[in-house]
Structure 1
Amino acid sequence: MRKIAVLDQNTIDKIAAGEVVERPASVVKELVENAVDAGSTAITVEIKDGGISFIRVTDNGGGIPKEQVPLAFLRHATSKIERVEDLLQITSLGFRGEALSSISAVSQMEVITKTQEALTGVRYIIEGGREKSLEEIGAPCGTTMLVRNLFFNTPARGKFLKTAMTEAGYVSSYMEQLALSHQDISFKYMVNGQTRLHTSGNSNLKDVIYGIYGRDITRELLPIQFQCTGIAISGFIGKPVIARGNRNFENYYINGRYVKSKLLMKAIEEAYKPYMMQHKYPFVCLHYTIEGESIDVNVHPTKMEVRFQNQSAVYNATYDAISEALGGKELIPEVELEKKERDIKKQKITAPEPFETVYKQQQNIEKSVSYVREDPQLYAPKSVGLKPATGSFTISQVTKPRTQENLPTVPVIKEAPLQEKKEPDVVPKQTPKQMELFEDALLSPKARLRHRIIGQLFDTYWLVEYEDKFYIIDQHAAHEKVLYEKLLKEYANKDVLSQMISPAQVISLNLQEDAIMKANMEVFREFGFEISEFGGREYSIHAVPVDLYGSSVQEFFVEILDSLENEHAKQPLELITGKLATAACKAAVKGNNTLSLKEADQLIDQLLGLDNPYHCPHGRPTIVSMTKYELEKKFKRIV
C-alpha cells in the first residue's frame, strides 16, 4: 500500500482546473462573469480556433489595482465575499475565487488592467500558474484578459476537445445566454475576426431576443409579469406555435445567473402541456428574482446549478405565470399558401370575372337560403369530399339551373366590395402565425351568430367562414377536447363513477411505496379506486374509474403512485391528466365519420365554452385558419 502524502501545488492546481476549466467555453464563462461583476456596461469577446488557441475578453469595468493583480491569481482569492455568512446573500455571478487560478494553471495568460484612479495600467503575464512579468503600461480603464494555447501543458486533456467549429458553438451558445440574462450590457462577440453577435445594451429584452432568434420567433412572444411572496418572474414566452424538438429554447435565469434546473424545466413543460404536442418543447426566456437566502448557488464549481429552499413555491409560481399568459388568447394557427409581398406598391388588384360583376350589381340579394340544393352534386362534388347538409348558407340568389346558354347566372359566394388591401408583414411559410385575442374572436358568443358552416370535408374536417377568414375544424380533435374537459370537471368535482373488477387485482409495494400509499389512500378513493389492505405490503384493488377505457389497472395505479412521490405536483388531479386524455381520445368521434350539420354546430358551441379550445389534450390544433387574402393570391386575383 502506498504511503499517504500531500500533493504538490502544481498537481493541486491542475486538479482544481479540471473542475472549473472543461473547455474554451468554460474559460469564456468565468472571464465574462468577472467582467459583469466588475460593473461593465460593454464587453467584447473574441476567440480564434474555437477558443483553443486564443481568447480575449475586454471590458470597461472598474479594473484591478496594481498591487492586487498577482493576488487575483491565487486560489480562493476573491473580492466577492469575505466570510461564510456572505454565501447566503450572493449577488455576484462569481464568488469562489477559483477561476483565474484554474485558467492560468493550464494556459498562457496575459492581463492588461487599469482602474479609474490610476495614471497607468498594469500588464501581467502568467503561464502554467507561474508568474512571468508584471509591468506598467498605458491602457484604457477596464480589463483585458488574453488566454492563449489552452491545455498547452496538459495535452492529454486537450485531446478530449472537439473540433474548433464545435468548441466555437459552445462559446456562441453561452454568449447568447449572457446577452439574454444581461440586456443592460452591450456584448460584442467575434469569431476568427468576424462579428457574430452585437447587442445594444439598451435594457430591452425583446431587442436581444430579436437579435439572437430573429423575427419569426420575436413576433410570436407573450410577455410575462408575475409576482408572489419572495418570487418575481418577468420576460417572454413563445406561443405554442413555436415548438421545437429539443429543450434548447428553454432559457431561465435566477438573479441574472444562467442555470439549468429540472424543477423549472418540469414546471414550464407542464404549463405548456395542454397547448403543445408530445415531445415538443416551448420557447421561454424567464428572469427570476428570488431572495438570496431562499436559494443556494454554491452547489457546483461551474455554478450552473441552484437549489431552492421552497421548491414547491418556485414550481407553482412558474406554472401559474405561464398558464396565466397562455390563457385567454385565441391561438389559432394560420395556414399560408405563399409568402406575402413586401411592397404594396407592386401589388395589383385585378377585376372579377364578367359574370361576377352582374351579381355584384344586384341590390336585393337573398341572404339566407336552404343549404340543400335541388342538385347537390353541382355544389358539392364527391371528388373533394364535400358533404351537403341542412342549415344557413349565405350566397347570392339562386336562379336558373346551370346551362351553357345562361352561364353568367351561376350563383356565386357573396364578396365584399373590391378595395385595396394594406400589405401585412412578411410571414415565412415555415412559421405559421397565431391570432391574438380580439373583440370578435372566432369563438366569442357575438361572433358565433355570424358563423357560416359550409360543410364537411373528407368526413373529418368542418369548414366555417367568418369575416375575411375561413376556418377548418378537426372534428376528432374538437370532440376529444370537449370530452377531456368533461372528464376533468367530473374528477375535479369528485363526481367519478367506479366499476367493480373481478377478480380483484393484488398489488405488492416496497417500503417507500407502501408509505406513500398509506398517506394518500384518500386520493385514490377520489379517483374512483376501491382499495383494501391485503396483508403486509400488499393491497387489493376492487374497483377502478369507469371512464378510463382500455387502461391497465396496475399500470394506472402505479402511474398515480409514482406521481404522488413527486412533491412538486400542484394537485392530485394533475396526476391522471394523461390517462384522461387517452380516454377522451378513444371515446371521441373519429375521422372519416360523417356528422350532421346540427351535430357539428353543437360541437362548435361546446368548444366555445372551453378555456383553451385551440388544442386537443395531446397538443394538436383543433382549428386552423386561412385568410381570404391568401386564397385570392393563390387564384391570382391579387398579383
Structure 2
Amino acid sequence: MGIINVLDKHVAELIAAGEVVERPASVIKELVENAIDAGASAVTVEIKNGGITYMRVTDNGSGIFRDDVAVSFLRHATSKVHSQDDLDTISTLGFRGEALASIAAVSHVELLTRTQDELAGTRYVIDGGVEQICEDAGCAQGTTIVVRDLFYNTPARMKFLKKDVVEANAIAAILDRIALSHPEVSLRFLRDSREALHSPGDGKLKSAVYAVYGREFTSGLIPVDYELNGVKLWGFISKPSAARPNRSMQQFFINGRYIKSRTAMVALEEAFKGSIMVGKVPACVLHLKIAFQAVDVNVHPTKIEVRFMNEKPIFDAVYHGVKTALNQGDTPNVLSLPKPVLPPFEQPKAPVQLELGTKSPAQAVKKMDGPPRLFVVNDVQAPLYNAHFEVKKIESPEPAPVPPNLNPPAAPKTDEIPVEPKAPLSEEIPSEPQKPEKLIGEAFSTYIIVQRGGDELVFIDKHAAHERMLYEKLKANGGQAVRQILLEPVTVTLEKNEYAAILESLALCADAGFEIEDFGSGTVLVRSAPMILGGEDVASAVMEIAGYLQTAKNDITTEKLDWLYHNVACRAAVKAGSESSPQELIALVQRMENEDIRYCPHGRPAYIIMKKKDLERQFGRIQ
C-alpha cells in the first residue's frame, strides 16, 4: 500500500504561508507594498500588541473591483504578471500572488475596498482561508485591510513570536525602509494609538530621511547624484566624521525596492577608504535605478535578495558616485575662535598717525582732536590729551570680586562626579615613580621593552596591558561603575531594532556606567558615561553597544555585562601607536607587575619574553 499522500488544500496553504508570513512585520510589508503598487499616495498603518492581535492598513489607491475581491485571496492570483516574459521586467513591488492567500490562511481578515468607478464598496471577511462574508459597504476609494489574531490556528508558530515590543519594532524597521524607498508616499504609523512615524510624502528623499531618523542624523549627510553606464545613483551618505561602528544604517534601494547587496556595500566602503577611521563604516540612504531586465528580484519570497546580470556597473556607479560626493561635499572642519573682548575703554574715533623712529608717545602724535584717547606702545598705555601726556605702565588688575551664587547646584551623587577627562595613563602615574630594573624604551609606539634581571627582555603590549587593568577595575566595582555626568547630553540615532534592544537593557547599561534614556523615534539620550572613557566618542560607544545587544538577545545577563566591560575598557585604554611619556611607561610596567597582568580581556597575551640566550643564538654567539 502506498504511503505518499496528497495534502489537502488547507494544510498545503498553512505550510506555504510560512514562506511569506513569518511574523507581523511580514504582513505589514506585503500589505503596504500592495498599497503602493495600487498607486496610493497616503498609507496609514495601525497596530496593537506588536501586531499580533490587530493590524490595519489603509490606503487611497485604486481599490479592488467587486469581482476580483474573492479571487485576490487565492494562491498565485495576481494582476501584475500575465506571462513568463513579464518575469524579466518586473517593475512592481509584489508579483507572486501569494501574500493575501498566506495572510488569510493564518488569521482573521476583513477587507473594505472601493474603486473610483463603483458606487458602493465591498466588505469581505475570510477566516483561516475560508470565506465568511461578501457584501456591500460604504467606504472611501481605496482599500482597508484588518488582520486579527495572527497564527491563531497555528499555535506552533505563535509560540515563536517575540515580545510585543520586539515585534512592533520589527514593523517600525520595515516601515522606515518603505518610507525611504518611496518618499512620494505619505506613510503614517500608529503604534498602540501613538504616532511613531509620519513622512510628508512630498517626493523629497531628505524629508523622508528627516522623518525616519531625525534632525541630528540628517544634518550630517552629503548628497549624492551620479550616473554611469546606465546606472543612476542618488541619495545621501554620512560624512566621514559621522561614521558608525556597524552597518545597520546602510540602506540600499534598487528601483524603489529595499535590498541587501554586498556589491553596493563593498563599493560604498571602498570609496570611503582613506577618509574614515579603521573599524568604522559609513551610513547611507542610496537609490539605484537600472533597467528592470538587468536585475532578478525573483530569488527569495521576501524579495530582499536580488541577482544582477552584471555586478560591475553597480559597483562602479556606487564607488565613483560616492567618491565624487565625498570630494565635493566633505568640507573640512573650520576652527571658530571667539571674538576677542576689547579693553574697557573708549576706542579712538579718529586714527592716530605714527612716524617711524619716534621715541615717545608725544613725538608720535601728529593730530589729536576730541576727548582723551588711549595709545599703546609695547606694554605701555598712555592717555593722550591735546596738550598733556601722562605715560603709565599697565599694572596687573586686581581680580574682580566673585558675586555670590544665589542658586548653588545640587550636590552630585557620589558615583556621578563631573570631572574633566584625563589622559589614559596620567592618572596611574605615582608622584615619585620608581624606575623598573631597566626600561629600554618603546618600539613602534606600541611595545614597551624592559630588561628584567640579567638574562631576559620583556616586550609589553601597552594597549593590551592597560585594557586588562581597566577591565579588572570595572569588574571589581560591579554595578557601581563610576560615571561622569556629561556637560551636554549626547543624542544617538539608532536603527529601530537596535533602539529596542538598548531600551530593554537600560539597567544593564547603567551597571556599565551609561545613563541612557528614551528620546523617542529611534533616538536615545546619553546623560553620563563611564569616567574611564575620558574624551572617547560616547555616541560611537553607545552605537556599538546597541548593535551588540541587538545581536546577543539570547545571551545571559552576565555575558552581556562582561562584553560591556570589555568594550569600555578597550575604548578607554591607551591606544597602540600613540605617544607615551617615559613616566607613563614606567607607571604601566609597575602596575602590570603589581597586578600580575598576563592577558587582555580578549585573550591576547599582554607580554612576551625573549631570553638572552635566544638572542645570542640568533647572532651566532652560542650554538
TM-score (norm 1): 0.55
Deviations for 1:373-400, whole angstroms, at most 9, x for unmatched residues? xxxxxxxxxxxxxxxxxxxxxxx97558
Corresponding position of 2:307: 307
Structure 2 equivalent of residue 45 of structure 1: 45
User: Shift of the alpha carbon at 1:331?
Assistant: 3.9
Describe the shift of the 1:195–1:592 C-alpha distance in structure 2 as closer, same or farther (beyond 3 A). same
- Is the 2:222–2:330 contact (alpha carbons within 8 Å) kept by the matching residues of 1? no
Which residue in the other structure is 2:327 paired with?
327
Q: Does 1:352 align with 2:334?
A: no
Q: Which amino acid aligns with 2:263?
A: L
Check conservation: 2:234, 2:287, Cα contact below 8 A: yes
Relative contact order (C-alpha < 8 Å, sep 6+): which is higher?
1
- 8 Å CA contact 1:355, 1:409 repeated in 2: no
1:333 shift after superposition: 4.2
Q: Which runs of 5+ in 2 are unaligned?
A: 357-375, 381-391, 398-422, 425-575, 582-623
Distance 1:133 1:225, change over 3 A: same
Q: Distance in 1 between matches of 2:353 and 2:160?
A: 80
Structure 1 contact 104–127 (Cα < 8 Å) conserved: yes
Q: CA deviation at 1:171?
A: 0.6
AA aligned to 1:148 is R
Measure the CA separation in 2 of the matches of 1:265 and 1:137. Answer: 49
Which residue pairs with 1:70 in the alignment? 70
Structure-1 separation of matches of 2:4 and 2:233: 51
Q: Deviations over 1:164-199 (max 9, x none)?
A: 111110111111111111111111111011111112
SS in 2 for 1:76: coil
Aligned to 1:288: 288
CA contact (8 A) 1:241 1:333 kept: no
1:161 counterpart letter in structure 2:
L
TM-score norm. by structure 2 comes to 0.56
Q: Percent identity?
A: 46
Instruction: Report Cα offsets for 1:345-376 as digits up to 9, x if no partner.
Output: xxxx9953449989x9987799xxxxxxxxxx
Question: What's the counterpart of residue 596 of structure 2?
Answer: none
Q: What aligned pairs does 1:407-486 form with structure 2 within 5 A after superposition?
A: 407-408=394-395
Give CA deviations for 1:38-68 in whole Å, capped at 9, x if unaligned: 0111111101101111000001111111111
Q: What's the offset of the Cα at 1:279?
A: 2.6
- Structure with higher Rg: it is 2
Taking only aligned residues, the RMSD between alpha carbons, in angstroms, comes to 3.2
Give CA-to-partner distance per residue, 1:602-628, whole Å, 9 cap, x none.
Answer: xxxxxxxxxxxxxxxxxxxxxxxxxxx
Aligned residue identity for 2:315: Y
Deviation at 1:328, TM superposition (A): 4.4
The amino acid across from 2:215 in the alignment is R
Letter in 2 for 1:48: K
Residues in 2 aligned to 1:364 and 1:307: alpha-carbon distance in whole angstroms: 79
Partner of 1:89: 89
Give the distance between the partners of 1:308 and 1:290, measured in 2 at CA: 10
Identify the residue that residue 137 of structure 2 maps to in structure 1. 137
Question: C-alpha distance in 1, partners of 2:355/2:5?
Answer: 101
SS in 1 for 2:82: coil
How many residue pairs get matched?
Answer: 375
Alignment of 1:519-534 (within 5 A): none
Aligned twin of 1:248 = 248
Cα pair distance change 1:328/1:202, threshold 3 Å? closer
Which residue in 1 is equivalent to 2:59? 59
Shift of 1:407: 4.3
SS in 1 for 2:240: coil
Aligned letter for 2:160?
A: F
Separation (CA, whole Å) in 1 of partners of 2:346 and 2:217? 41
SS at match of 2:70: helix
Measure how far apart 1:211 and its partner are: 1.7
Contact 1:187 1:198 survives alignment (8 Å): yes
**For residues 149 and 82 of structure 2, what CA distance do their matches in structure 1 show?**
33
CA distance in 2, matches of 1:270, 1:291: 25
Q: How does 1:105-116 map to 2 (within 5 A)?
A: 105-116=105-116
Matches within 5 A, 1:152-163: 152-163=152-163
- Check 1:363–1:173 CA distance in 2 against 1; reply closer, same or farther (3 A cut): farther
1:119-518 matches, within 5 Å, as 119-329=119-329, 331-333=331-333, 352-354=342-344, 398-399=378-379, 406-408=393-395
* Equivalence for 2:103: 103
CA contact (8 A) 1:47 1:192 kept: yes
Superposition misfits of 4+ residues, deviation over 2 angstroms? 328-337, 349-358, 360-366, 396-400, 405-410, 588-593
* Alignment check: 8 A CA contact 1:355 1:408 kept: no
| Residue 356 to residue 5, structure 1, CA distance change in 2 (3 Å) | farther
Q: Structure 1 residues 189 and 397 mapped into 2: Cα distance closer, same or farther (>3 Å)? A: farther
How far apart are the structure 1 equivalents of 2:212 and 2:355?
Answer: 54
Rounded Cα–Cα distance in structure 1 between residues aligned with 2:108 and 2:577: 69
> What is the rounded CA distance, in whole Å, between the counterparts of 2:70 and 2:189 in structure 1?
28
Asked if 1 retains the 8 angstrom alpha-carbon contact of 2:55 and 2:146, the reply is yes
- Provide the C-alpha distance between the structure 2 equivalents of 1:353 and 1:330, rounded to a whole number of angstroms: 39
| Matched residue type, 1:352 | L
